[in-house]
């Protein structure tokens, strides 16, 4: 009877030990809970392998944004093709005297030809753009300032662009105030320089480079 009792006790102890071993395996924190990613550096390293870190993600976004729909620069060949298809009609100049407008319009034709732009006549129905200019001149002391504004229209009369500026040059005549007398002080070279700048800015607009 005692031997049987001892045997039973031994079996119970063995079972208890086995149960404790199994319980330890099951209750080990690493076996039932995920690694503490927020507190252990080693775990952070493994999680970074699957989740992009903020810095690389931001850099990738910047690259995508920068390379997305940004317009590619216009090449010389593309610009030349655009200009060659342009037929520019110049409307009568407003505000300038005939003497000042003559060298201006002559230089507009010369500069346009140099840039590959065709000028259309006043009755030409094939014009792609119309250029209307408004001028004024003012003499102060020994200098005369020419102020100009050009509006660029499409054939339907919609304004597409505006070119404006001013040019100061030494007076060549006796004008001393704003108005008709001031135009007597404007040299042909001044009007030719304005014509060159106008066509150059118009060409830049057509090429998509105007600001």
pLDDT digits (tens, 9 = 90+) for 93-123: 999 999 999 999 999 999 999 999 999 998 8
Instruction: Please report which confidence band the pLDDT of residue 80 belongs to, taking 50, 70 and 90 as the band edges.
Output: confident
So what's the pLDDT on residue 10?
52
160 and 84 belong to one structural domain: yes
So what's the pLDDT on residue 50?
37
Of residues 16 and 160, more confidence is placed in 160
Please state the domain count of the chain.
Answer: 2
Which residue is it, tokens 């395996």?
25
Percent of the chain past pLDDT 70, that is, above it, reads 60
Tens digit of each residue's pLDDT (9 = 90 or more) over 11-55: 444 444 444 444 444 333 333 344 444 444 444 443 333 334 444
So what's the pLDDT on residue 64?
35
123 and 186 belong to one structural domain: yes
Stated pTM of the model: 0.62
So what's the pLDDT on residue 191?
97
157 and 198 belong to one structural domain: yes
Q: Using alpha carbons, list the distances in angstroms from residue 90 to 83, 94, 132, 147, 177.
A: 16, 11, 6, 18, 28
- What CATH code is carried by the domain that includes residue 201? 3.30.160.150
44 and 138 belong to one structural domain: no
Q: Using alpha carbons, list the distances in angstroms from residue 195 to 43, 92, 120, 209.
A: 71, 14, 17, 19
Q: Is residue 189 assigned to a domain? A: yes
So what's the pLDDT on residue 118?
95
The answer for residues whose C-beta is within 8 angstroms of residue 108's C-beta and 6 or more apart is 90, 119, 195, 198, 199
Spatial distance between the Cα atoms of 197 and 133, rounded to a whole number of angstroms = 13
27 and 89 belong to one structural domain: no
48 and 93 belong to one structural domain: no
| 129: exposed, middle or buried (Cβ count in 10 Å: 0-12, 13-18, 19+) | buried
The neighbouring-strand residues paired with 150 are 133, 163
129 and 172 belong to one structural domain: yes
116 and 188 belong to one structural domain: yes
Q: Is residue 71 assigned to a domain? A: no
User: Residue 17: which domain range?
Assistant: 2-66
110 and 199 belong to one structural domain: yes
84 and 163 belong to one structural domain: yes
So what's the pLDDT on residue 46?
39
Spatial distance between the Cα atoms of 23 and 100, rounded to a whole number of angstroms = 105
119 and 45 belong to one structural domain: no
Whether pLDDT at 60 is above 80: no
Q: Is residue 211 assigned to a domain? A: no
Average pLDDT, the chain: 74
Helices and strands counted in the chain (H then E): 8, 5
Among 66, 87, 119, residue at a domain's last position: 66
Q: Is residue 74 assigned to a domain? A: no
202 and 181 belong to one structural domain: yes
Tens digit of each residue's pLDDT (9 = 90 or more) over 184-201: 999 999 999 999 999 999
Q: Is residue 115 assigned to a domain? A: yes
Among 66, 90, 113, residue at a domain's last position: 66
Both tokens of 86, joined, read: 């342009």
Whether pLDDT at 129 is above 50: yes
Which residue is it, tokens 């690259």?
63
So what's the pLDDT on residue 137?
96
Cα end-to-end distance, the chain, whole Å:
109
């Amino acid at each position: 009877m005692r031997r049987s009792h001892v045997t039973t006790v031994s079996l119970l102890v063995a079972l208890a030990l086995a149960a404790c071993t199994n319980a330890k395996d099951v209750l080990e924190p690493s076996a039932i809970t995920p690694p503490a990613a927020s507190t252990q550096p080693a775990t952070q390293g493994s999680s970074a392998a699957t989740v992009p870190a903020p810095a690389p993600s931001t850099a990738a976004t910047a690259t995508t944004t920068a390379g997305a729909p940004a317009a590619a620069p216009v090449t010389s060949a593309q610009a030349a093709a655009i200009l060659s298809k342009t037929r520019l009609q110049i409307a009568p100049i407003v505000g300038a005297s005939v003497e000042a407008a003559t060298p201006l319009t002559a230089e507009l034709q010369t500069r346009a030809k140099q840039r590959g732009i065709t000028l259309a006549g006043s009755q030409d129905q094939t014009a792609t753009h119309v250029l209307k200019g408004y001028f004024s001149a003012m003499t102060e002391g020994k200098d005369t300032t020419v102020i100009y504004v050009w509006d660029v229209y499409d054939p339907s009369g919609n304004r597409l662009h505006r070119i404006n500026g001013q040019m100061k040059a030494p007076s060549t005549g006796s004008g001393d105030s704003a108005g008709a007398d001031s135009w007597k002080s404007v040299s042909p070279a001044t009007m030719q320089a304005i014509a060159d700048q106008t066509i150059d800015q118009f060409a830049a607009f057509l090429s998509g480079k105007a600001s």
